C-alpha cells in the first residue's frame, strides 16, 4: 500500500526527527556499550518501525517498497545498529511469513512481530554454507507430527534477542539441491535450540549476531512455513530479493550522512590558510560522493516502484544492492580521506561508519553473489 502524499511526508518527518534527535546523539554510547538504549528501542516500537513492512490487517504499517525505501533513507542517516534492532522484523525475519505463511501462521505471529513484542531472525547461513546457500546441512527429520532439527546456523543477526526463527533445513536428504529444503518457524525456548555467544565484530556495535544450534530440536509439523515441504529455499530467495532493496536504501542513508560529515569537516578545517573545501581535489571527492549517491538513490526508488507495481525485480534488486553497497564503501573511504588524520581517530563518526559500512558488501549476499544473480538475469532475459 502506498501512503498518500501528506501522510507520507508526516511519517518521514517523524522518522527524520527521531533519527536526528534521539539516535544520532546516542551513537557513541551505542558503539562503546554495544547496546541500544532500551528507551530508544521502546520509541522505535511506538513509531511502528518494527512493523513498517507488515500488512495493516496483521497490525503493521503496511508500507509499500517505495515508502519503505524512503523510510530507510532516513534510518540510514545514523549508525546501522539502530536499523538492525528492527531490521529483521521489517525484512528477512518477517517476510517469509508475509509471503508464504499460512493464514494461521500469519495471525499467530505477525501482530507480535509488527509491534516489536518479539524479535525475529532468519537462519540460513551455516559454517559450511554461506554464499552457496542451497548446500546447507541442517537436517529436519520427520517423526510423527513433529520434525527433529539438527545443525548449526552461523552469524545469525538478532539471534540473542530473537523470540522466533525462520530456519531453513534439509527435510529431504535424498535431494541435495534447493528442492530438499524446508523453512520452519522455531520459537525460542524450544528444547534443543540454543544460542551461542555473540560474535565480536569489526563494526556495527549494538547489532548482535551469534550461532544458533539445533540438537534434537522437536518442532511441530504445523510450524512448516506455508505448510508445505520443499519450499524453503524459494522462500529464502524471495525474502533476500526484497531485503536487498531494503539494505540498498540503508546504504544510501548512510552515504548521505557520510557526505554531510565530510562536507562539514571540509568547510571548517583550514590548511594553507583556507578551508580545505576550497581545494579542487577535495571538491572532486565531494562531487563524486554526491553523484554516486544520486545514482544509487534513483536506482532504488525506480526498482522499488516497479516492485510495488508487481513486476519481477530480482535482477534489479541485486543491481541495487551491488551498486549501493559498493558506493557507500567508496563514500566512507573518501569521507575518511577528507578528514585526514582525524578520520582515523575514534572521536570522529566517519571512523566508525567506515567500519560499519564494510558489512553491506557482505551480508544478504556478497557483491560477488549479486554479480552472479545479475549476470544470470541478463542471460535468462536473452533466453540463453
Ligand atoms: N526467487 C525465487 N526462486 C529462485 C530465486 C529467486 N530470486 N533464485 C533462485 N530461485 C530458484 C531457482 O529458480 C531454482 O529453482 P528450481 O529448483 O526449480 O530449478 C532454485 O531456486 C535454485 O536456484 P539456483 O540453481 O539459481 O541456485 P544456486 O544454488 O545456483 O544459487 C544463489 C543461487 C547463488 C543466487 C543463492 O544461493 C544465493 O542467493 N546465495 C546467497 C545467499 C545469501 O544471500 N546469503 C546471505 C545470508 S542470509 S542474510
pLDDT in tens, 225-266: 999 999 999 999 999 999 999 999 999 999 999 999 999 999
Whether 124 is in the pocket of ligand 1, judged by its Cβ within 6 Å, is yes
Mutational pocket test of ligand 1: of 94, 127, 133, the residue with most ligand atoms within 8 Å of the beta carbon: 133
Looking at ligand 1, which atom is closest to the CA of residue 157? Answer: 49
What's the CATH class of domain 120-228? mainly beta
Q: 166-197: per-residue pLDDT in tens?
A: 999 999 999 999 999 999 999 999 999 999 99
Whether 236 is in the pocket of ligand 1, judged by its Cβ within 6 Å, is no
* Dihedral sign computed on CA atoms, order 102, 103, 107, 110: positive
Say which of 74, 143, 364, 381 is annotated catalytic: 364
Looking at ligand 1, which atom is closest to the CA of residue 240? Answer: 44
What integer pLDDT is reported at residue 3 of this predicted model?
Answer: 80
* Dihedral sign computed on CA atoms, order 258, 260, 265, 267: positive
- 56 neighbors 62 (Cβ within 8 angstroms): yes
Looking at per-residue pLDDT, the higher value among 341 and 3 belongs to 341
Rounded CA-CA distance 232/209 in Å is: 22
- Minimum CA distance residue for ligand 1 atom 24: 178
Task: Compute the average pLDDT of residues 139-156.
Answer: 97
5-115 folds as Butyryl-Coa Dehydrogenase, subunit A; domain 1 (1.10.540)
Distance 42 CA to ligand 1 centre (A): 36
- Of the candidates 48, 162, 46, 150, the one whose C-alpha atom is nearest the C-alpha of residue 109 is 162
What integer pLDDT is reported at residue 153 of this predicted model?
Answer: 98
Whether 363 is in the pocket of ligand 1, judged by its Cβ within 6 Å, is yes
Residue 66 has pLDDT above 80, yes or no: yes
Label residue 347 by pLDDT band (50, 70, 90). very high
Looking at ligand 1, which atom is closest to the CA of residue 135? Answer: 29
Beta-carbon contacts of residue 32 (< 8 Å; ≥ 6 apart)? 205
What does DSSP say about strands 120-123 and 164-170: parallel, antiparallel, or unpaired?
parallel
Rounded CA-CA distance 123/117 in Å is: 20
Task: Compute the average pLDDT of residues 130-147.
Answer: 95
Residue 117 known to be catalytic: no
Beta-carbon contacts of residue 289 (< 8 Å; ≥ 6 apart)? 255, 258, 259, 262, 330, 331, 334, 335
Task: Compute the average pLDDT of residues 10-26.
Answer: 97
Residue 1 has pLDDT above 70, yes or no: no
Distance 20 CA to ligand 1 centre (A): 38
Domains of the chain, by residue range, sit at: 5-115, 120-228, 234-382
234-382 folds as Butyryl-CoA Dehydrogenase, subunit A; domain 3 (1.20.140)
What integer pLDDT is reported at residue 384 of this predicted model?
Answer: 75
On the question of a common fold for 5-115 and 120-228, the answer reads no
Whether 372 is in the pocket of ligand 1, judged by its Cβ within 6 Å, is yes
Rounded CA-CA distance 44/38 in Å is: 10
Whether 179 is in the pocket of ligand 1, judged by its Cβ within 6 Å, is yes
What integer pLDDT is reported at residue 100 of this predicted model?
Answer: 98
* Dihedral sign computed on CA atoms, order 44, 47, 48, 53: negative
Distance 234 CA to ligand 1 centre (A): 7
What integer pLDDT is reported at residue 48 of this predicted model?
Answer: 96
This prediction's pTM: 0.96
Percent of the chain with pLDDT strictly greater than 70: 100
Whether 233 is in the pocket of ligand 1, judged by its Cβ within 6 Å, is yes
Whether 92 is in the pocket of ligand 1, judged by its Cβ within 6 Å, is yes
Amino acid at each position: 500500500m502506498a501512503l498518500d502524499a501528506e501522510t507520507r511526508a508526516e511519517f518521514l518527518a517523524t522518522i527524520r526527527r527521531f533519527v536526528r534527535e534521539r539516535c544520532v546523539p546516542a551513537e557513541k554510547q551505542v558503539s562503546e556499550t554495544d547496546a541500544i538504549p532500551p528507551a530508544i528501542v521502546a520509541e522505535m516500537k511506538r513509531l511502528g518501525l518494527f512493523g513498517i513492512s507488515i500488512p495493516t490487517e496483521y497490525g503493521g504499517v503496511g508500507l509499500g517498497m517505495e515508502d519503505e525505501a524512503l523510510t530507510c533513507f532516513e534510518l540510514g542517516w545514523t549508525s546501522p545498529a539502530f536499523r538492525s534492532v528492527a531490521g529483521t522484523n521489517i525484512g528477512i525475519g518477517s517476510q517469509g511469513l508475509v509471503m508464504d505463511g499460512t493464514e494461521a501462521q500469519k495471525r499467530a505471529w505477525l501482530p507480535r512481530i509488527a509491534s516489536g513484542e518479539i524479535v525475529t531472525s532468519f537462519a540460513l547461513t551455516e559454517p559450511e554454507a554461506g554464499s552457496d546457500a542451497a548446500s546447507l546441512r541442517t537436517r529436519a527429520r520427520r517423526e510423527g507430527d513433529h520434525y527433529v532439527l539438527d545443525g548449526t546456523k552461523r552469524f545469525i543477526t538478532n539471534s540473542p534477542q530473537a523470540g522466533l526463527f525462520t530456519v531453513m533445513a534439509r527435510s529431504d536428504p535424498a535431494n541435495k539441491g534447493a528442492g530438499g529444503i524446508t523453512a520452519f518457524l522455531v520459537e525460542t525456548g524450544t528444547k534443543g535450540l540454543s544460542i551461542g555467544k555473540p560474535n565480536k565484530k569489526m563494526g556495527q556495535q549494538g547489532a548482535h549476531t551469534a550461532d544458533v544450534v539445533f540438537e534434537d530440536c522437536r518442532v511441530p509439523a504445523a510450524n512448516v512455513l506455508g505448510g508445505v515441504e520443499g519450499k524453503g529455499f524459494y522462500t529464502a530467495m524471495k525474502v533476500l530479493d526484497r531485503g536487498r532493496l531494503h539494505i540498498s536504501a540503508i546504504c544510501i542513508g548512510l552515504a548521505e550522512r557520510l557526505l554531510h560529515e565530510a562536507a562539514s569537516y571540509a568547510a571548517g578545517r583550514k590548511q594553507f590558510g583556507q578551508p580545505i573545501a576550497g581545494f579542487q581535489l577535495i571538491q572532486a571527492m565531494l562531487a563524486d560522493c554526491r553523484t554516486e549517491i544520486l545514482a544509487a538513490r534513483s536506482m532504488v526508488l525506480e526498482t522499488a516502484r516497479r516492485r510495488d507495481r508487481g513486476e519481477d525485480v530480482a535482477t534489479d534488486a541485486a543491481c541495487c544492492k551491488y551498486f549501493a553497497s559498493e558506493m557507500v564503501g567508496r563514500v566512507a573511504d573518501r569521507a575518511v580521506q577528507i578528514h585526514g588524520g582525524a578520520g582515523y581517530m575514534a572521536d570522529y563518526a566517519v571512523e566508525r561508519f567506515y567500519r560499519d559500512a564494510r558489512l553491506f558488501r557482505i551480508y544478504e549476499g556478497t557483491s560477488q553473489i549479486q554479480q552472479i544473480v545479475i549476470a544470470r538475469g541478463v542471460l535468462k532475459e536473452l533466453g540463453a
